[in-house]
Amino acid sequence: MTTTPRLLAEWEPQGAVMLAWPHHGTDWFSRLPQTLPVFEAIALAILHQQHLIISSEDVSQVQNLQRHFDRLCQEQSLPGRALCLPAPSNDTWARDFGPLAVQQGSRVRLLDFTFNGWGGKYPSEKDNAVNSHLAWQQAFGRHRLKKVDWVLEGGSVETDGQGTLLTTRHCLLDPARNGSQNQVQVEQMLRQQLGFEHFLWLDHGNLEGDDTDGHIDTLARFCSPGCIAYVRCDDPSDSHYQDFQAMEAQLKTFRQANSEPYHLVPLPWPEAIFSDDGERLPATYANFLIINGAVLVPVYGVPQDQQALDALAGCFPGRTLVPVNCRSIIAQHGSLHCLTMQLPQGVWGHD
């Protein structure tokens, strides 16, 4: 008898977090002085709670990072350890090419979906092979990868860990991902691979500067099985206003699998942030990362930062909120959650 898989919720016990370090061969090369301190802040916040797997294309950088974090972990008596390994990459968005972890019976399985650069927008061949490189070096311990010949990015799926999927039609039904598959066919694949039975499809939430076609992890997030934190735009003069008001209205119609409504927690709308060439950037507070004992929250050096932290504090009793200034990260059109991929307890290759 085959056991139904279950995509694990982010708040379940974790063993490590994946992070792909930026290097000169990525789009970050001109911003490395501003960017590297943010990556280090994220890494240290994770190591205060659990292990960290860092990949980099640059072998000498791997060696330097290993020495650096070994020293910091020892000096600060941190509970986590860093494992730095070589793996060629096109970019640093581990959320979208990292493996998705499912529970199946008593076993945890790591699913390695195809990553095609958000529908062929950017080169992705190296990113699509990062998981295989890490698995070959036993980064995941005894856990093997299961290749899934289907395009899916981790930032496009949000779950309560109980069989519910929260996502957007604009992304998952994009023909540049999986051809002409319709919603029924997409749901069938997600049910088969990730065990989803209850589907919540958002039709709104178009962020300026977003090149993922509407990843849910910038819009609305499960904080617990019955609670969703979401981005609210309450400025009628903002170009996002109508679409995000419609998203809020749709969220209010959603019901849990037991037919109960969700507890909805609005997150503030940060003041507009622009790139050096005047393009609006997709900054939101929904791109937080839940880890053991803490929640890492992107902030942007704007007045709404504290309001966002206050709102999320009520969603995560018992966890410490750690603000991380992601102003330099959002310049590349992503934020904190986009950079990271959590791995469940036991998925760690060097104990």
- Could you write out the three-class secondary structure of 206-268? CCCCCCCCCCHHHCEEEEECCEEEEECCCCCCCCCHHHHHHHHHHHHHCECCCCCECEEEEEC
Q: The tokens of 224 are what?
A: 């617990």
pLDDT, position 2: 67
* CA–CA distances in Å: residue 64 to residues 68, 133, 281: 6, 19, 32
Q: Give residue 20's pLDDT.
A: 98
In this predicted structure, what is the pLDDT of residue 23?
Answer: 87
Determine the Cα–Cα distance for residues 319 and 35; give it in Å rounded to an integer: 26
Predicted pLDDT of residue 3: 87
Q: Which pair of structure tokens corresponds to residue 321?
A: 């909120």
Three-class secondary structure of residue 323 per DSSP: strand
Q: What's the pLDDT at 349?
A: 77
Q: How many angstroms separate the CA atoms of 296 and 290, rounded?
A: 6
Identify the three-state secondary structure at position 338. helix
**CA 343 – CA 110 distance, rounded (Å):** 9
Query: Within 10 A of 253 (CB to CB), how many other CB atoms are there?
Result: 9
Residues 218 and 170: beta-carbon distance below 8 Å: no
Quote the CATH superfamily of domain 6-344: L-arginine/glycine Amidinotransferase; Chain A (3.75.10.10)
Alpha-carbon dihedral 266, 272, 275, 279, rounded to 10 degrees: 100
For residue 213, give Cα distances in angstroms to 123, 206, 339.
16, 8, 17
Q: Are the CB atoms for 290 and 14 separated by under 8 Å?
A: no
Q: Write the CA distances from 24 to 21, 89, 193, integer angstroms.
A: 10, 11, 36
Cβ neighbours of residue 282 under 8 Å, at least 6 residues apart? 207, 208, 209, 210, 218, 330, 333, 334, 335
Separation between Cα atoms, residue 276 and residue 306, nearest integer Å: 25
The partner residues of 224 in beta bridges, in order of sequence, read 227
Could you give phi then psi for residue 85, rounded to 5 degrees? -135, 150
Q: Which helix (H) or strand (E) holds 194?
A: helix 183-194
- Give the model's pLDDT for residue 331: 95
Q: Indicate the length of the chain as a whole number.
A: 351
DSSP state of 156: G
Res 27: pLDDT: 83
CA nearest to 14, candidates 263, 350, 348: 348
Calpha distance 347→1 (Å, rounded): 25
SS3 assignment for 29-77 = HHHHHHHHHHHHHHHHHHHCCCEEEEEECCHHHHHHHHHHHHHHHHHCC
Whole-model pTM: value is 0.97
Looking at residue 351, its pLDDT comes to 57
Each residue's pLDDT expressed in tens, for the chain with a length of 351 residues: 568 999 999 999 999 999 999 988 888 888 899 999 999 999 999 999 999 999 999 899 999 999 999 999 999 999 999 999 999 999 999 999 999 999 999 999 999 999 999 999 999 999 999 999 999 999 999 998 999 999 999 999 999 999 999 999 999 999 999 999 999 999 999 999 999 999 999 999 999 999 999 999 999 999 999 999 999 999 999 999 999 999 999 999 999 999 999 999 999 999 999 999 999 999 999 999 999 999 999 999 999 999 999 999 999 999 999 999 999 999 999 999 999 999 999 998 775
CA distance 186 to 45: 36
Neighbours of 276 (CB within 10 A): 8
